[in-house]
């Protein structure tokens, strides 16, 4: 897998952490951790978009962050996972995979030009 896509994945993971932080952080160190997570996620997302289209990276970043947050709510905070959510997550992940497939071609074209 291309390293720019790995950066987007890790950026989304840190996005989940800071979204949880914004909701649940309590006390000085938890807020510091949340701020560090915001910094890391944005840094990686911006670095990934150096070579990939920004619109693509941002959509995947927001999308995977949302899936991660829904999953974290389900796994750690006891929020139910209804069928509608599962269907939407499948559509979203299909979109991410599709975007990855069409973007690889674009990157190659970009290198040639």
Partner 1 sequence: MAWVALVVAGIFEMLGVTMINKLHKDRNLQALILLIISFAASFGFLAYAMGSLPMGVSYAIWTGIGASGGAIIGMILYGESKDWKRIVFITMILGAVIGLKLVS
Residue pair 60/8 in contact by the 8 Å Cβ criterion: yes
Q: Which DSSP category does 51 fall into? A: T
> Under the rule (CB under 8 A), what is the footprint of partner 1?
42, 45-46, 49-50, 53-56, 58-60, 62-63, 66-67, 70, 73, 79, 82, 84-85, 88-89, 91-92, 94-96, 98-99, 102-103, 106
For 90, the token pair is: 């499948």
For the bound state, the minimum distance from the C-beta of residue 63 to partner 1, rounded and expressed in Å, comes to 4
For the bound state, the minimum distance from the C-beta of residue 16 to partner 1, rounded and expressed in Å, comes to 13
For the bound state, the minimum distance from the C-beta of residue 39 to partner 1, rounded and expressed in Å, comes to 11
Q: Report d(CA 68, CA 74) in Å as an integer.
A: 10
Residue pair 38/16 in contact by the 8 Å Cβ criterion: no
In terms of CB distance, is 6 or 95 closer to partner 1? 95
């Amino acid at each position: 897998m291309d390293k720019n896509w790995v950066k987007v994945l890790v950026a989304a993971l840190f996005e989940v952490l800071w979204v949880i932080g914004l909701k649940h952080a309590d006390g000085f160190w938890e807020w510091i951790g949340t701020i560090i997570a915001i910094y890391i996620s944005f840094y990686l997302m911006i670095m990934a978009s150096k070579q990939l289209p920004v619109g693509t990276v941002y959509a995947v970043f927001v999308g995977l962050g949302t899936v991660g947050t829904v999953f974290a709510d389900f796994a750690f905070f006891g929020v139910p996972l209804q069928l509608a959510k599962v269907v939407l997550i499948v559509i979203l992940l299909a979109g991410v995979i599709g975007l990855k497939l069409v973007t690889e071609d674009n990157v190659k074209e970009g290198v040639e030009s």
